[in-house]
Structure 1
């Protein structure tokens, strides 16, 4: 039986420490341990953010990292919004490349990949700083070889529409921080137990936003509808990539408010599709929406043809099987 996604790690990681004045030179260290003071800011006040991106092996044996610049820029943004020390984007980019080169031979062939997890967190030992930022921090690059996300079959997900609660505080939504995922965990577990839902689609006040771990896309014929970017939800790199490819294919992309009422009305139409976008799955089809105790099939309730076409289009670029027209790949 294959190991669960993201549970196998390469034995070393690149790491750098900020001492309040400057970042230390990056070095490769064992990835199975990290020494922190018990009073470290991150352990008490959740001063932490991270990224998720992938490196892919191509048929000629080369390795390419997908949209690294966007992920590094988002890590810098998350760090800034959490009042963590500013990262050196060039240093972080070099650390990612150094780590991927170190384990290039271990990058799986398609449909596998090397999952890359840059992580930044506050280290200052000061438990009196609940309302003040950490002056010191640590940044490391952890990598994990992963297999086919859909190895168990391409099944359509069940989403519970939650129009009361929120995934996280509105001003925290565009930050990729562990606390946001933690805040969505309990309601997600309750939704699984009560409704056999795979995830919750958070729709505060009837405004369709995102799930606990992915952006949401509604596909109605030749149109993709998704919430316009604001600070209340994560600006997904995969979301942006899928929307770009959809425009390339001549589809209409509508980034606007989508209400629960409109979502359910459109979902009932034959041929309608919905999907979740994210680094791990790229596009995961949604087959059922659960609202106020009632189940609403999305179109046929099965994975849709447009969802699969868009996912293949992105995979083909990542795997080197299609032209990289947008310059998304960094070859190692």
Structure 2
């Protein structure tokens, strides 16, 4: 599939690598695809990055039909561009779309469009260690109608942002607050879909965590307020007495692509890994008896974030002397090595753009 390209006549000044941060700068171009019930998905094009003009009655503003994804492109040491598991992102986008009554996209055509977009803005992929080109595909409902039902019109858009480390702390261990007051999701809800509303409802807890000096919130299940689920932008892992444990996917947890990648790496390295229910009391008990060896989060933006402190009911638990654990370091080195092309991709996860 060849996508029509309109190149910008006013290229932006590219930011310095040490000023990137996360999601602050955007490349020169974007991909746009329209949907109507009469024509289906149509008129895909790559155009200069620009504001979106929407009717004030567009359903996305009123009923929240909005989903998104996050993935990355990297530059290898020999100058090739790599995409990391983009097929899984478009498959998950369609899973979210089904939950929110949004028409599915053609995953292969979306991948081809993404490849072309990355090629057009290839010069925006930063090459410095720890940097990448963050890619944000999203779909919004655009029909101007206040009836409470699914939209008949949508836009699928891909924008890209050269990014540095997600956290100001970098790869250093972060501080996480365990949430007990608010609830993020329940089984049967939208917890396993990557929809904007999930993040909106989590902001109040994140705000309170930040006010107390913590990076993010660790959510418990919405029914019993007992079992660990996930962190705001990450899935969570615990290394207890030599075994890595992560909450199983029950329908209220986002099935992270980085999570899945880490599980496969752990199995490949013959490190014991369990996907199961894990109560916060089990974590506290493991810390008390000295068997809680590591805690880390995984996600596209941060890749891996070791956790150095957990706040639970006013008590702060220090994890591994606030140092990066051996397993956390191994997983980070392995995944970033594959993503940057520095080590062999035994899993066939990367797509090279030549």
Aligned equivalents of 2:76, 2:351: Cα separation in 1: 12
Match for residue 118 of structure 1? 137
Structure 1, unpaired ranges of 5+: none
Aligned equivalents of 2:68, 2:320: Cα separation in 1: 35
Distance 1:270 1:226, change over 3 A: closer
Aligned equivalents of 1:46, 1:26: Cα separation in 2: 23
- Displacement of 1:270: 5.8
Match for residue 227 of structure 1? 247
Distance 1:135 1:153, change over 3 A: closer
- 1:300 paired with 2:341, answer no
Of 249, 259, 280, the residue aligned with 2:301 is 280
Contact 1:13 1:31 in 2 (8 A): yes
- 1:59 paired with 2:59, answer no
Alignment of 1:1-332 (within 5 A): 2-21=19-38, 22-109=40-127, 110-129=129-148, 132-149=149-166, 152-170=169-187, 171-193=189-211, 195-204=212-221, 205-268=225-288, 269=290, 272-332=293-353
- Higher mean C-alpha displacement, 180-189 vs 220-229: 220-229
- Displacement of 1:153: 4.4
Contact 2:85 2:349 in 1 (8 A): yes
2:230 partner SS: coil
- Displacement of 1:221: 4.6
- Displacement of 1:148: 3.9
Aligned equivalents of 1:20, 1:115: Cα separation in 2: 31
1:209 partner SS: strand
Aligned equivalents of 1:319, 1:151: Cα separation in 2: 21
Aligned equivalents of 2:130, 2:172: Cα separation in 1: 17
- Displacement of 1:296: 1.3
Aligned equivalents of 1:153, 1:89: Cα separation in 2: 33
- Higher mean C-alpha displacement, 252-261 vs 169-178: 169-178
RMSD between aligned residues: 1.6
Contact 2:173 2:322 in 1 (8 A): yes
Deviations 1:212-258 (A, max 9, x none): 21111102253110111121010000011111101111111100000
Structure 2, unpaired ranges of 5+: 1-17
Aligned equivalents of 1:159, 1:15: Cα separation in 2: 37
Q: TM-score scaled to structure 1, two decimals?
A: 0.95
Deviations 1:56-95 (A, max 9, x none): 1111111110001100100011111110122121221122
1:26 partner SS: strand
- Displacement of 1:46: 0.8
2:260 partner SS: helix
- Displacement of 1:318: 0.5
Distance 1:315 1:3, change over 3 A: closer
- Displacement of 1:169: 4.5
Deviations 1:5-55 (A, max 9, x none): 111101210111001131113111222211111111101111000000001
Contact 2:239 2:293 in 1 (8 A): yes
